Amino acid sequence: MKRRFVACGIAAIVCAAPPSWADQPEVPLAASPTAPADLDTSSLFRAATDALAGDRPTDAIAALEALGDRGVVDPVISFDRGLAYAARIRAGGEQAGDLGRAAHGFEEARELSRDSALVADATAALEEVRAEVARRRARAGDPIELEHGVSLGRSIVRLLPENAWAILAVIASIALAVGIIVRARATAARAKVAGVTTCAIAGGLLALTAIILHSARDARLHGRDAVVIVPSTRLLDDKRVARASVQPLPEGLRVQLLDEGADFAHVIAGRVEGWLPTSAILPMAKR
């Protein structure tokens, strides 16, 4: 499988500035089982970029996963990790789950980054990964639809950033206050009608934006997403029995993680709720 974005992305990463934490003073960190204990985070990052440039994706994966084991959360690291897994596929050394882990890295980079250029690169790379997943599913005779949709409520919450909903709520509350004052002090009939109308519209908008703002805050504080990292998996019901009415979830699909136990995780895939083995998904880091 040829992946043009892998070669371009490697060149871009090697030439790019290191992530924000790379120039910070080092602090003692716990040893990682996948990399030498005496390497600091900057050294691991340099080792990863050198391995990517040298077409050694497995070494790059080891270094990047070691950074993750040490709690380093950075969109560039996530993007590099996606590139490394994609590069291993391109090199012919693919292991089970590499496509899903590549998608996970690019999804995580999009979620963490505030850099529009990096978000665009991660989105393009993610589309390439999903296109390959679709091709493989088509060859196997499986449905090629990779998205299971998003609930209406979550779609509305995602329309604007949380701060934007907060600003709209403030504007609605001010309009409501003005309407109340006009209604209380007006003597003319038209002014009273205008005040009542303003109160009705502003009150409804305030209630709506307050609900959406609460949902957005709850999603930020408690919500978490994950990515399917196995070629295909069935959504399970509460008795851990496969749901025959739901199509198998494809590799690289992003799902909403509600709860995670030792063996199974409670997820929402589009509009359908169910359970998946914890080994079938990889949770995404949060900003």
Low-confidence ranges of the chain (pLDDT < 70): 1-39, 144-152
Digit-coded pLDDT (tens) for 14-42: 334 344 444 433 333 333 344 444 567 88
Q: What is the pLDDT of residue 7?
A: 43
Region 4-140: CATH code? 1.25.40
Q: What is the pLDDT of residue 262?
A: 82
Q: What is the pLDDT of residue 10?
A: 39
- Joined together, the tokens standing for residue 22 give 């790379």
- Joined together, the tokens standing for residue 279 give 């080994």
Q: What is the DSSP string of 143-169?
A: ---------HHHHHHTTS-HHHHHHHH
One of 2.60.120.10, 2.60.40.2380, 2.30.30.40, 3.40.47.10 is the CATH number of 224-283, namely 2.30.30.40
Residues 259 and 234 sit within 8 Å (Cβ to Cβ): no
CA distance 154 to 144: 24
Residues 3 and 128 sit within 8 Å (Cβ to Cβ): yes
Quick check: pTM over 0.75?
Answer: no
Q: Which residues are CB-neighbours of 284 under 8 A, at least 6 positions away?
A: 104, 107, 108, 111, 224, 225, 226, 227, 254
Q: Where are the domains of the chain?
A: 4-140, 154-221, 224-283
Digit-coded pLDDT (tens) for 221-272: 777 889 999 988 889 988 889 888 888 888 999 998 888 888 999 998 877 8
Q: What is the pLDDT of residue 156?
A: 80
Task: Say which residue the tokens 């380093």 belong to.
Answer: 72
